Chain A
């Protein structure tokens, strides 16, 4: 399987703290994306980082990509209770396929 792996599987923090989630993958990629899934809902795209980028910001989100280590991290700063959700990384492998391969996800719980 080329599925990415996220760690930790679960993370519980207090409101206002930062949350960091990591993703590792196996082969070369075109880009890596992060999605959020609230309980009982579909996934929502958060941010995309291309293979030639090392860092990207969007609001309170910061994503890094290290292609030499085949890993990415998602940092949520100043977390809020509303950030409670599962977070998935998804990779677009360099095979011409348009489909994404999703990781196993990190469940984030932000305590108010």
Chain B
């Protein structure tokens, strides 16, 4: 398996533009997580899905952020309109429910977003 795949790896955009980040989880995993990492706030959970259904989006900063998972192999995180304070590294992770109920998460390489 290729692991969790994210695209693009780097994105530079101007304030006000729409940004779409993409993620392909590991095949067979039924949980997908979106995180944001900054120096100031560390690693923050934004939203997570189970079987393509959003379970907890309490970490989504505001209405400018939205996430979808149309099928088991694809998810997007969209920021519209983007602002400089959205600059961060965005990680996607996936996990499968182990037989004993404990979850190890597999992270993608991240998308480094810079909003000018």
Contact = CB atoms under 8 A, between A and B. Distances in A.
Interface of A: 3, 30-31, 33, 35, 41-45, 48, 50, 88, 90, 92, 97-105
B104 interface: yes
Given A97-B55, A100-B103, 5 more contacts: A48-B104, A98-B48, A99-B48, A100-B45, A102-B42
Given A102-B42, A102-B43, A43 B55 contact: no
Contacts of A88: 43
Interface of B: 4, 31, 33, 35, 42-43, 45, 48, 50, 55-56, 91, 93, 95, 97, 101-110
A102 B42 CA distance: 8
Contact of B106 (A30, A41, A45, A100): A45
Contacts of A41: 109-110
Interface of B is mostly: strand
Contacts of B95: 98
B42 A31 contact: no
A35 B105 CA distance: 9
23 contacts: A3-B42, A30-B101, A31-B102, A35-B107, A41-B109, A42-B4, A43-B43, A43-B93, A45-B105, A45-B106, A48-B104, A50-B102, A88-B43, A90-B105, A92-B103, A98-B48, A98-B50, A99-B48, A100-B103, A102-B35, A102-B42, A102-B43, A105-B43
Contacts of B43: 43, 88, 102, 105
B48 A44 contact: no
A27 B107 CA distance: 25
A18 B20 CA distance: 43
Nearest 9 CB-CB pairings of A with B:
A42-B107, A102-B43, A43-B107, A45-B104, A104-B42, A99-B48, A42-B109, A99-B45, A31-B102
